[in-house]
Amino acid sequence: MEVPVKVGIIYGSTRPGRFCDTVARWTAAQIGARAGFVIELIDPAAHASQPAGHPGPANEIKQRLADCDAFVVVTPEYNHGYPAPLKQLIDSFGEEWHAKPVAFVSYGGISGGLRAVEQLRLVFAELHAVTIRDSVSFVGAWEQFDARGTLRNPDRAERSMETMLRRLRWWAAALNRARRASPYGQSA
């Protein structure tokens, strides 16, 4: 029996009234509907009200990230980039990202968030993470989902998600085996 891949779904936005909740719920439902995955939701907005220097949330997030085998970042595109709170979350940790795959579900206006994703690929490369080429992108996302958060025309997005998750699972298994055989960063 195959060991399930623990996927951390990272919320990329902390704005009040954010559309990220809709896209993240869709993402979680898609991953949850497939065998072989366990989901861990990681939402920086849940800890945004904590005072600076408060040790609890950072330690909790650190452990949750460390326990994940792979990540799916759900990100909007703000002004041709990704949100500052997402950058803060990523930069607050190091080894938790090492030698793990990261996939992207993006949304926005005309680019569907792809400019944000391209920037995130550079950031995660610096953190020794492996980004998945295949992604899911929602152009004009606000028009693609109805008021209940259901995709109006899901076929293309579901096909893209299937491909992305197949690749994410492969990389998660391969990198997990490699980390067990030789902890990342140590000489062989």
Q: How confident is the model at residue 1 (pLDDT cuts 50, 70, 90)?
A: very low
Reported as a single tens digit per residue, the pLDDT across 45-102 is 886 555 555 555 678 899 999 999 999 999 999 999 999 999 999 999 999 999 999 9
Q: Can you tell me the distance from the alpha carbon of 49 to that of 42, in angstroms, rounded to the nearest whole number?
A: 15
Pick the CATH number of 5-46+59-181 from 2.60.120.380, 3.40.50.360, 3.40.50.880, 3.30.420.40: 3.40.50.360
Residue with tokens 């953190």, as numbered in its chain: 127
pTM: predicted TM-score of the whole model, two decimal places: 0.92
- Quote the tokens at residue 122: 């550079």
Mean pLDDT of the chain: 92
For residue 127, what are the CA distances in angstroms to 24, 50, 113, 116, 180?
23, 26, 21, 17, 19
